[in-house]
Structure 1
Amino acid sequence: MLHRPVLAVWGRWAAVAAATLALTACMVPQWQKPGTPAAAIVAGMGQPQVKVPLEGGGERWVYSRQPAGQQVYHMVFDAQQRLQSVEQVLDEAHFQRLRPGHDNRESVHRYFGKPALLEGVGNFKGDIWTYRIQQNGIDRQAHVFIDPQGVVQRIMFTDEPRQDDDRGR
């Protein structure tokens, strides 16, 4: 019969082994190295939410952690399906690149993926796509106003309401 201290050591080792296995089973986008074959990325991360063809035969894959997460990763592949770069694009600077009156529902989806929330307000006829972002350690939201014709009209940023926020009391 094993003594309790031996069981405790084995239990800790089993927990460490399980955690290590879990970490290796799910790949982290920003840790991927240039040159990795696309097939290896799919094997470790699954299919991307969006694939966008690029000039020269490459592709940009969009992996989103919305609605719970605050990251959207672009993984750019060359024509030989080898990873070229990984970039986290869910931040104010990338939303500022949107061009009201020019960008549309499809271009926003191809760049940022599905929003965390699809909303509407009484004083705007159209949809508001809301993405959860983090800016300088502050939880925020980026709101993309898309009119009934599918054209981006404006982008607005707000602090994300928190469940433990008691300002409204």
Structure 2
Amino acid sequence: MKNSILHLIFLIIFTGCGSVSKENPKLYELKSYQFKNIDPKGYKILKTADEMIKNRVIIRGSCWDFVNAVYEKAGFPKQKRVTIAKTSKRGSINPKILKPGDWIYHINLSYRNVEHSAIFVKWIDFKNKKALTISYAGERRKTPARYKIYDLSRIYTVIRPE
């Protein structure tokens, strides 16, 4: 009980690129059967990120550094990535183009409207633009990435493994 309370306090105090998720990350653990029909490259990105979450890998740096590390580890360095869509930070890209494993830059509407990088997993509520992502808080915290639902109403860049 004491450990649970300390863990909860730690999560509340040390938030970063996003607020503490109310969703239980265990509900969203990556299962291969959920992604039978996705591109193998996207699957490789998701599987690599999932392993890093399970191993509680900490990347020194920001959300961008974490997603970059996932892509590198999965075998997709900068020259093996393609920018699918890009717009100004005030605009928004058509969310229908997103595929599991895409690297997305979006405005984090739940945390100070800051720029945020994450990995798209799947839509939870497309109509309201709620999606499950793999997100890393960064901000010099020693917290591993997690599965988190974000409002993706303001996506401004989409990068895909090539």
- TM-score (structure 2 length as normaliser): 0.27
Larger radius of gyration: 1
- TM-score (structure 1 length as normaliser): 0.26
